Chain A
Amino acid sequence: MDNRHNPFDMSPETDVAWCPGCGNHMLFKAVKGALDDLGIDPVKLVMVSGIGQAAKAPQYMKVNMFNGLHGRALPAAFGIRLSNRELVVVVESGDGDMYGEGGNHFLHAIRRNFDVTVIVHDNMVYGLTKGQASPTTQRCMKTPVQVDGVILEPFNPLAVAIALDAPFVARAYAGEIEQTRSLIREAIRFKGFALVDLFQPCVVFNKLNTWQWFKENTCSIPADHDPADRMSAMKLATTSEKFPLGVFYRNENRELYEDLAGIGDKPLHQQQPPDEKDFRTMLDSIPMNNV
């Protein structure tokens, strides 16, 4: 990582609430690095997040921020994007926030395919509420609530996203920081719904999926994988013994919601109320008055 000034850096005195050794610190650098690589103007960037430790990331960056409700980052991001196409919208969230509380929005945001980058810090546990199972917690892990171990199969975000034809689906890992930076860069550059599921350990509450565990259980995506091949991407997301890292799926042909819905280039905040003539003409269109 270079030591050049990053325009998204806050003052060094900023009180960061993440634990020492948390994967977030590394990922944070990767996100800021990627944004800087792309030369994005902080004034034109909105970071949207829900609630959780990962969702605090925008608090520590010089960006426009909408830190909304738990699970509701995507609908807010959607409203922001439709109101102003000039804005780059990035959602940063955790596995509980995005795949649990926000699950329905996750499905429908992919269906819509508006231009948004969704970075999900996936540590396979609930950190902020102190160690309960998240939707991606591995089976058999014991927690203060799942006392005999988790009995459910984990949610598979990549398979779900590919099934819904999310046009950009990737996975990265906090231990592979240069690759993460490059994947986030690619995701932001992509026009459409881009998902980056980001593996990271929770050093306090997840004693199963440690730095060591991730190192042993992840692998590179096979060199001959063609991201345009949806079936092969699905196979990769569902059948691998280890968790592959890289771009699973990329569909250049999906149309943007903004284009399909005819959203204009002019931001809504610049729009004036209708002039009197248009308004009065509209009154004549009220049913039963054109007889």
Chain B
Amino acid sequence: MRPYPDDISLVIEGAAGQGVQTITSALLPILKNIGYHVFSCTEYMSRIRGGSNTTEIRITGKQRFAYTTRIDVLFALSPDAFEHLQNRIGEKTLIFAEKEHFGDGWNERCIDIPIPAYALQAGGPVYANTVAAGAVLGILGIPLEPLNLFLREQFSRKGKEAIENNIKAATLGFDFGLRTPSALKPKIPVPVPNDVKKRLLMDGNSALGIGAIAAGCNFICSYPMSPGTGLLSFLAERSGTFGIVVDQAEDEIAAINAGLGASYAGARSVVTTSGGGFDLMQEGMSLAGMIETPIVVHIGQRPGPATGQPTRTEQGDLDLALHAGHGDFVRAIFAPGTLEETIESMQHAFDLAQRFQIPVIVLTDQYLLDSVSTIDAKDIKRLPVASTLVRTDDKYKRYTFTDDGLSPRGVPGYGDGLVRVDSDEHDENGLITESFDMRRRMMDKRLKRLRPLRESALPPKVIGRHDEAETMVVCWGSTRGVLEEALDILGCKRLAGIHFSQVYPLNPKTGTMLQNRRIIVIENNASGQFADLLTRETGHVISRRILKATGEPFSVEEVVDALREEAHG
């Protein structure tokens, strides 16, 4: 692999409870405010204390949104780091660790940093992460003052002593970092300090929440399940400001049924969960289809089957999202791949759910949700919120037959009519029916909307030059960033990428865009679920599937390696 001059990968490792997240949230704003492009992603074990968790912070000359296997600088706070990261530590990795924790591999690129001793000197073991944060700045040659400001702010409520001890810890670490032999110090990209104030740092969870609030979401009922819980917390924290009703349900079955009850009464409701929780919601999906009631369902994917790897990432629930619920009914599925797309997907989801009176799914994954990057404030777009409710009169029928199959939607208590919805097959009034003819007409009514829904589907985004490419590499959801970077590195016109942020229904032009091209699909699952969907929808044969289902995201190196032959062969 060629060297990356404009790209540093810094990994901070620690046991759960050692404060790796705190270091990250101190460093990212400092780096961003200087003018660096940053990206960070997190992997952690399913435990509350102990183990070995890491955060990767990439400092790049160009904005990236991808994970790299390569580690340039490693801060190992726990003894388990070396076993956990053995496949990622390379000959060129500069390692800061305590020598006594290290096995035989100690070499001239390892620096013995007495973090616990410094922490004690500063006031106690709790300051270890602050020592590390200071050391990172020292090594990178970044001034300490912004970190001190952060610490003053962060610990203002804990009193003077806490602030002073933290600053002492940071200074000890910083001075140590400064003393790193200059031959070993990584070369840091040149910062571009333009418009840093307009760039916002955020993770996928925040982007999802921002999208929901922009869409006027005012009801969320959910049961906690990683990694779907972030949206619930985000909206709960802002519920007072935006008048959002938030309830933690007794189970996922209750969550979706409460969401549908709320929507029936006119709320704009969302539920959030992961694949396992969504399994329990399937009957609710089917109900939404039958009663033509909008609902947005966020599925933060993690590896299954069953409990699987609770804290890891995968794109393994596309088939589930596509097929969840018994009977034939219409749905839409979004799968954003960037912060911008995440914010917009949520708004599209609410919009389609309301306009087409259907359930809409937003599929993300642990990797996307926990990854942090920057977004320009002007790129946070608000889409128009259509008012879809009607005031009923006393002749109102909830399921009046219309040309497009969409009946004006009233809600109880708004107007003089009665609003009746029924999970049994029903007539225009929403009353149970045994008539075969009514059944035929109602099925037709409910399914008719698929056509306009398909016509309004978001077009996929081409990465590179479509016209010159012989091979199209297809991705969806969170794999967009890694494919973009890999194609950029390979720099070959024979290859172009195509990313789908709406995976169902597919935009009608999809088939044409892939016509007469060799098609490769890359996805973070074991079987190639999107590849199958693409064949089913377009009839195109998929020449190759690049798959990964270890619980980790694809790294840039892996994708470059997988495509190298295609580019040069």
A residues whose Cβ falls under 8 Å from a Cβ of B: 17, 42-44, 46, 48, 51, 56, 58-59, 62-69, 72, 74-80, 82-84, 86-87, 104-105, 107-108, 261-264, 267-274, 276, 278-280, 282-283, 285-289, 291
Q: What are the residues of chain B within 8 A of A291 when measuring CB–CB?
A: 29-30, 33, 146, 149-150, 153
| Segment 341-381 of B: residues with Cβ below 8 Å from A | 372, 377, 380
Interface contact B202-A288, CB-CB below 8 Å: yes
Interface contact A83-B241, CB-CB below 8 Å: no
B residues whose Cβ falls under 8 Å from a Cβ of A: 25, 28-30, 33, 146, 149-150, 153, 200-202, 206, 210, 213-216, 218-219, 221, 238, 240-243, 245, 247, 249-251, 253-255, 257-269, 283-284, 287, 291, 372, 377, 380, 382, 385, 389, 411-424, 430-432
A289–B25 Cα distance when bound, in Å, is 10
Given A267-B265, A274-B242, A289-B29: A75 and B253 within 8 A (CB)?
Answer: yes
Q: Shortest CB–CB separation between residue B412 and chain A, in angstroms?
A: 4
Closest 5 CB pairs of A and B: A269-B266, A79-B261, A273-B216, A76-B261, A79-B262
Nearest B residue to A44 via CB reads: B413
Interface contact B241-A278, CB-CB below 8 Å: yes
Q: Shortest CB–CB separation between residue A123 and chain B, in angstroms?
A: 20
Given A83-B267, A273-B215, 14 further pairs, Cβ under 8 A: A56-B432, A65-B421, A67-B432, A68-B261, A76-B258, A82-B245, A83-B261, A104-B251, A105-B254, A267-B413, A269-B411, A274-B213, A282-B242, A291-B33
Interface contact B253-A268, CB-CB below 8 Å: no
5 A–B contacts from the bound complex (CB under 8 Å): A65-B418, A68-B291, A80-B261, A273-B385, A291-B153
Given A44, A59, A271, A288, which contacts B29 in the complex, CB threshold below 8 Å?
A288
Q: Shortest CB–CB separation between residue A75 and chain B, in angstroms?
A: 4
Given A43-B416, A283-B210, A288-B372: A67 and B261 within 8 A (CB)?
Answer: no
A79–B146 Cα distance when bound, in Å, is 47
A64–B415 Cα distance when bound, in Å, is 12
A84–B219 Cα distance when bound, in Å, is 12
Q: What are the residues of chain B within 8 A of A87 when measuring CB–CB?
A: 265, 412-413
Q: What are the residues of chain A within 8 A of B25 when measuring CB–CB?
A: 287-288
Q: Shortest CB–CB separation between residue B118 and chain A, in angstroms?
A: 24
Interface contact B153-A285, CB-CB below 8 Å: no
Q: Shortest CB–CB separation between residue B237 and chain A, in angstroms?
A: 8
Q: What are the residues of chain A within 8 A of B284 when measuring CB–CB?
A: 69, 72
A276–B430 Cα distance when bound, in Å, is 38
Interface contact B218-A268, CB-CB below 8 Å: yes
Q: What are the residues of chain B within 8 A of A105 when measuring CB–CB?
A: 250, 253-254
Interface contact B411-A43, CB-CB below 8 Å: no
Interface contact B267-A269, CB-CB below 8 Å: yes
Q: Shortest CB–CB separation between residue B427 and chain A, in angstroms?
A: 11
Interface contact B413-A268, CB-CB below 8 Å: no
Q: What are the residues of chain B within 8 A of A64 when measuring CB–CB?
A: 412-413, 418-420
Q: Shortest CB–CB separation between residue B560 and chain A, in angstroms?
A: 30
Q: What are the residues of chain A within 8 A of B206 when measuring CB–CB?
A: 286-287
Q: What are the residues of chain B within 8 A of A68 when measuring CB–CB?
A: 257, 260-261, 287, 291, 423
Nearest B residue to A48 via CB reads: B261
Q: What are the residues of chain A within 8 A of B423 when measuring CB–CB?
A: 51, 67-69
With most chain A CB atoms within 10 A of its CB, the pick from B221, B245, B382, B385 is B245
